[in-house]
């Protein structure tokens, strides 16, 4: 199979360096294009119940994460797609339709929480229509 479009889904947090490094290295090895996807909750930047609105990650914020992970030239040439949706796993799966491969990060959770529900990356893998690579953070 030839890979033409690989998508890395980023939460927009600083702990995603290893996910970014794996995505960049894989695209280099396969000689393919990498896109960054970020899904925001529809209520982002809207105050709710007297609480401050959560910050929204911008295209520049996502490019800066890639730069901070040591990939300055790649950061400027990436396709960045920011979509709003909830639940996240369904929004990620929908936004990556047509991709050849998706890369997502996984954060270790305690056993109690893990027993109660799947993580976002596990839910993404269950509904995606392309192969999913899950990278431990």
Question: Could you tell me where the beta strands, DSSP code E, fall in 25-127?
Answer: 33-40, 79-84, 101-106
User: Rounded distance, CA 103 to CA 132, Å?
Assistant: 6
* Closest to 35 in 3D by CA, of 106, 85, 83: 83
Question: Domain-by-domain residue ranges, the chain?
Answer: 5-136
On whether the CB atoms of residues 105 and 18 are closer than 8 A, the answer is yes
| Residues 11-34: tens digit of each pLDDT | 888 789 999 999 999 999 999 999
Q: Give the rounded distance of the alpha carbon of 101 from its chain centre.
A: 12
What is the CATH topology of the domain spanning 5-136?
A: Rossmann fold (3.40.50)
CB 73 within 8 A of CB 61: no
pTM flag (> 0.95):
no
Reported as a single tens digit per residue, the pLDDT across 92-127 is 999 999 999 999 998 655 454 444 445 777 888 888
């Amino acid at each position: 199979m030839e890979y033409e479009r690989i998508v890395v889904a980023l939460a927009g947090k600083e702990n995603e360096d290893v996910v970014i490094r794996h995505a960049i290295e894989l695209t280099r090895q396969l000689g393919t294009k990498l896109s960054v996807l970020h899904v925001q909750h529809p209520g982002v930047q809207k105050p709710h119940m007297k609480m401050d609105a959560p910050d929204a990650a911008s295209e520049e914020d996502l490019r800066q994460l890639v730069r901070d992970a040591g990939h300055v030239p790649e950061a400027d040439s990436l396709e960045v797609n920011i979509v709003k949706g909830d639940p996240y796993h369904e929004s990620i799966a929908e936004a990556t339709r047509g991709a050849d491969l998706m890369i997502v990060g996984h954060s270790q959770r305690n056993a109690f929480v893990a027993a109660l529900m799947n993580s976002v990356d596990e839910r993404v893998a269950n509904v995606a229509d392309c192969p999913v690579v899950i990278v431990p953070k």
